[in-house]
Structure 1
Amino acid sequence: MPLTFAAPGDSSRPLHVIEQGELDAWLEGQPDHVRAWVAGSSFTGALGSVLRIPGKDGVPEAALAGYGTAAARARQRFPLAAAATQLAPGTYHIASGLPEGAAETEALGWLLAGYGFSRYRDQTPKVAGLVAPAGVDAARIEVLAAAEALTRDLVNTPAADMGPVALEAAARDLADTHGAEIEVFTGGELLERNFPMIHAVGRAAAEAPRLIDMRWGTDGPALTLVGKGVCFDTGGLNLKPAGSMGLMKKDMGGSANVLGLAHAIMALGLNVRLRVLIPAVENSVASDAFRPQDILSSRKGLTVEINNTDAEGRLVLADALAYAEEAAPDLIVSMATLTGAARVALGPDLAPFYATEDRIAAALEAAAGPAADPVWRMPFHAPYEEMIEPGIADLDNAPKGGMAGSITAALFLRRFVTETPYAHFDIYSWQPSAAPGRSKGGLGQGPRAILGALPALLDL
């Protein structure tokens, strides 16, 4: 079901957004029957509450949506979205009460409240239609909603239906939609073309590993997005326990996020030369699985000692990042569900990122708030470099001790991007429990902040 705004028309009902504590002020100018109806209700403007107001003939003529207090709104990404699923069926337009600065965020949240993952069972929420609020670029918000829905669908799909082959198909579908070019290196071709670590990680799986390379645009600055596409992660020979393996269908969340972001960039027609690189693999157990203590060569020439086969995401990203930099783009951004350490540090809601330049961090931080896509900068802490240097090889994929795991992973990746401005996102890409505008399950984390930062970063 497309997430779109309703067409404006005479049939839409007015929706008044009421902040808690402001109900009496709103009632002062209302007709007697409205004042009497509200007085007989328990509506106070509390966040998430709604009240349908009948006309004199009993047919609903308007509705109120509680907007709560500033403190209550601070706890929700999309405060008004709670009303979308509680209102009577029909179409509404915002008649009063919505702060101008919140209109775009709340409009997006309303559309996202209509998302449901229905591939296996219809889970489409019953959401009232909304006419795009005045001053909102409706087409742009619909693109953002579609991009988020794409990301969620990809992450929510289990590995049986979203392995490397299906992930490639999803990328091809997106390329066909926007007229992008796509090239894929598969199986033994990865070795022939010097992607040894992507091949090593994925060679034990039933579906061959691959590197997906999509390109779009002929003018403007060059932007390369690299997304981790580990379609399922058993941990390899360092097998995960059952409790840690349960959500590993989402280990391709980095690729899902960059594909969603790529859709937004292309649909909005940004003046960039976009490239998307996705190493798509499954980290499986078989007789030819890579082993602890193996030393792998990388595309960049650096050797890597394998001290944990469950730290595989950085390996496939490393080859892709080295390949990305060979084309000398203006900016490289990688996205990956990379470390549990990032979740320990920031939990599931904040997207941690690393940046090689302060200007990149500043642009991302400035864009995150208006995009309702919170991010938090983490440090490339140079004194920890020695932790990823095992001595027997150039790099260690899993430093002992378990400290600073997200930082050491980011430092590892930075060894493969040495000349190009670079940002890395260590995301969770999963909503643990439902919230307004955010269904339980797959989630985009970081793409809207990145999209909002691109004009500053690439002089668009």
Structure 2
Amino acid sequence: MNRVVVRGVAEDDARPGAWDARAAAGFTGALGQSRVEQHGDEVVALAGLGRRSQRGTTALRRAAATVARSFHAVEDLVMDVDLASFGASSTAEVAAVAEGIAWGGYRFRMTGAESYTSGTHAAIPRAHGAADLEREGWARGEALGAAVNLARDLVNLPPSVLTPCAFAERAAGLLRSRGLRVRIVRSDELRDGGYGGIVAIGQGSTNPPALLEVEAGEGPPELALVGKGVTFDSGGLSLKPAPAQMAMKSDMAGAAAVVGALSLLPTLARGRSVVGVIPLVENLPGPGSVRPGDVVRLRDGATLEILDTDFEGRVILADALSRAAEFGPETIIDIASLTYAAQHALGDDFGALVANDDALAARVEQAGARSGDRVWRMPLQPELEAQIRSDVADYKNFPGVASARVSSAALLLSRFVGGIPWAHVDMAGPAFRPTADAGGAAGGTGYGVRLLAELIAQSRTTAVATNSTR
């Protein structure tokens, strides 16, 4: 078993005798740097923290991830983490270090057509000071890290393995083992239940669609989570060009984030009343594919003209949001890799946030800042009504113009939440990395798990207090 001691070093720390050698090698303690040294019988890995005066959970998470990533090729590694050197003095800061180690050490590899290995480095905190705080924070961080990596596994699996029903069954087994109530609604029942959008998008594939419903707690739910689950998106008959299909196994990253977050309920928020609704389809061209110009009837009774089959996410989310509203939640949040426009506007590090309620939008923004899954609010624009209205049906799925597509997609979705406070997170940018970087492996990022977990863990009274003090 390989073992390494991990210590944090800041740019503004006092310089020890070994600093000259570090500086000569270019190590200054800047955030995102790492260095490995031999100290007697110990291998020591140094994580650059930046300036301690600017330390926060996001910086601690990134520093820990970077140093863990530097050992990504080492098997059977235990990272002995000196929390004192990181300056982690709160539960949230300790959790951020543990999360970062789990994130940076993650690796995923297919070992056969349907078999794979995944995991991360084992890590233990080197105890100091407030042991109870450390135990609580470390346990929270490990749980969050495991949930994020669970979502990454789901995104990284080949679409031939993770078909809609395979996703539903895999997620159901996991969530039932955590004590949650799970129901899989399959193809015939979807048709009989009026889920015309889900059925239409899924009917081109030989792998049938499904809807996953998850319930925790009793009574009307405080929160409903909806995650887009397109296990592979070819664009349907409105076929994507080949380069655009290469990462389309990740079009179920929203669904994966919801599963990851719900898996944390027993750990972070036992007893909370939460529901999850996850539509699962494979969008392929085939003899039964929905055609541009077809009209479908949705779960809430509205009709929708499908003009572009590559704008499928809003079609299945319309049905899923209607179903979520039927549970009578206080709040609905959906998360989806929905539009290229969100990535073009915000890049790879922010999700686009659109909401029909200012207080809820503030909560999501604050949860994003605390969790590291950051969002940036964009407008819900009623003046775009003409872009979602059809001449032959109630709505259309294609706006007809290239501008404001984040807002026009959200405006359509807003019609299916029944007036309930609702927030939409378009994660097209941060959901997937085509190449590895210093902080993490290529593939699924697990974006959204920490954001949703933060929102789940908030009580209503905590959320109100937080909003009133910021």
Range into which the TM-score falls when normalised by the shorter chain = 0.7 to 0.9
Contact 1:221 1:271 in 2 (8 A): no
- For 2:85, the aligned partner's letter is S
The alpha-carbon deviation at position 130 of structure 1 amounts to 4.3
Alignment of 1:138-157 (within 5 A): 138-157=138-157
Task: Say if 1:407 and 1:300 are closer, same or farther in 2 by CA, change over 3 A.
Answer: same
1:44 paired to 2:28? yes
The corresponding residue for 2:324 is 324
**1:74-109 CA distances to partner (integer Å, 9 max, x unpaired)?**
899612322234479652423335253644323311
Alignment of 1:70-85 (within 5 A): 78-85=62-69
**Fraction of identical pairs, as percent:** 34
- For 2:9, the aligned partner's letter is I
1:20 counterpart (11, 15, 18)? 11
The corresponding residue for 2:242 is 242
The corresponding residue for 1:458 is 460
Rounded Cα–Cα distance in structure 2 between residues aligned with 1:197 and 1:150: 28
The alpha-carbon deviation at position 433 of structure 1 amounts to 3.4
Rounded Cα–Cα distance in structure 2 between residues aligned with 1:130 and 1:119: 31
Deviates most, 61-70 or 286-295: 61-70
> What SS class does the counterpart of residue 201 from structure 1 fall into?
helix
Deviates most, 124-133 or 158-167: 124-133
Rounded Cα–Cα distance in structure 2 between residues aligned with 1:143 and 1:80: 16
> What SS class does the counterpart of residue 444 from structure 1 fall into?
coil
The corresponding residue for 2:294 is 294
Rounded Cα–Cα distance in structure 2 between residues aligned with 1:220 and 1:167: 27
> What SS class does the counterpart of residue 78 from structure 1 fall into?
helix
Alignment of 1:423-442 (within 5 A): 423-428=423-428, 429-442=431-444
Q: Which has the larger radius of gyration?
A: 1
Rounded Cα–Cα distance in structure 1 between residues aligned with 2:127 and 2:258: 27
Deviates most, 282-291 or 432-441: 432-441
The alpha-carbon deviation at position 437 of structure 1 amounts to 4.4
The corresponding residue for 2:446 is 444
> What SS class does the counterpart of residue 380 from structure 1 fall into?
coil
Contact 2:164 2:207 in 1 (8 A): yes
Task: Say if 1:344 and 1:144 are closer, same or farther in 2 by CA, change over 3 A.
Answer: same
The alpha-carbon deviation at position 16 of structure 1 amounts to 4.2
**1:245-268 CA distances to partner (integer Å, 9 max, x unpaired)?**
111111111110110111122332
Contact 2:98 2:145 in 1 (8 A): no
> What SS class does the counterpart of residue 118 from structure 1 fall into?
strand
- For 1:107, the aligned partner's letter is A
**1:346-405 CA distances to partner (integer Å, 9 max, x unpaired)?**
112111121211111111222222212211112111111221112221111001121111
- For 2:239, the aligned partner's letter is L
Contact 2:155 2:256 in 1 (8 A): yes
The alpha-carbon deviation at position 114 of structure 1 amounts to 2.0
Rounded Cα–Cα distance in structure 2 between residues aligned with 1:240 and 1:453: 35
Structure 1 runs not aligned, ≥5 long: 1-5, 28-34
1:94 paired to 2:89? no
Contact 2:215 2:276 in 1 (8 A): yes
Rounded Cα–Cα distance in structure 2 between residues aligned with 1:85 and 1:339: 30
1:272 paired to 2:272? yes
The alpha-carbon deviation at position 456 of structure 1 amounts to 5.0
Rounded Cα–Cα distance in structure 2 between residues aligned with 1:19 and 1:450: 31
- For 1:350, the aligned partner's letter is F
The alpha-carbon deviation at position 13 of structure 1 amounts to 7.9
The corresponding residue for 1:185 is 185
1:352 paired to 2:352? yes
Contact 2:60 2:100 in 1 (8 A): no
Alignment of 1:321-400 (within 5 A): 321-400=321-400
The corresponding residue for 1:416 is 416
Deviates most, 86-95 or 283-292: 86-95
Task: Say if 1:403 and 1:132 are closer, same or farther in 2 by CA, change over 3 A.
Answer: farther
Contact 1:363 1:456 in 2 (8 A): no
Contact 1:17 1:65 in 2 (8 A): yes
Task: Say if 1:287 and 1:81 are closer, same or farther in 2 by CA, change over 3 A.
Answer: closer
> What SS class does the counterpart of residue 264 from structure 2 fall into?
helix
Q: What CA RMSD, in Å, does the superposition of the two structures yield over aligned residues?
A: 2.9
Rounded Cα–Cα distance in structure 2 between residues aligned with 1:97 and 1:241: 47
Alignment of 1:245-260 (within 5 A): 245-260=245-260
Contact 2:66 2:440 in 1 (8 A): no
Rounded Cα–Cα distance in structure 1 between residues aligned with 2:220 and 2:325: 17
The corresponding residue for 1:32 is none
The corresponding residue for 2:47 is 65
Deviates most, 263-272 or 200-209: 263-272
The corresponding residue for 2:104 is 113
Contact 1:197 1:296 in 2 (8 A): yes
Structure 2 runs not aligned, ≥5 long: 463-470
The alpha-carbon deviation at position 125 of structure 1 amounts to 6.2
Contact 1:93 1:132 in 2 (8 A): yes
- For 1:449, the aligned partner's letter is L
The alpha-carbon deviation at position 292 of structure 1 amounts to 0.6
- For 1:84, the aligned partner's letter is A
> What SS class does the counterpart of residue 352 from structure 1 fall into?
strand
Task: Say if 1:400 and 1:69 are closer, same or farther in 2 by CA, change over 3 A.
Answer: same
Task: Say if 1:275 and 1:124 are closer, same or farther in 2 by CA, change over 3 A.
Answer: closer
Task: Tell me the matched-pair count.
Answer: 438
Contact 1:23 1:44 in 2 (8 A): no
**1:248-297 CA distances to partner (integer Å, 9 max, x unpaired)?**
11111111011011112233233322211111111111121111111111
Rounded Cα–Cα distance in structure 1 between residues aligned with 2:169 and 2:336: 20
Rounded Cα–Cα distance in structure 2 between residues aligned with 1:116 and 1:148: 13
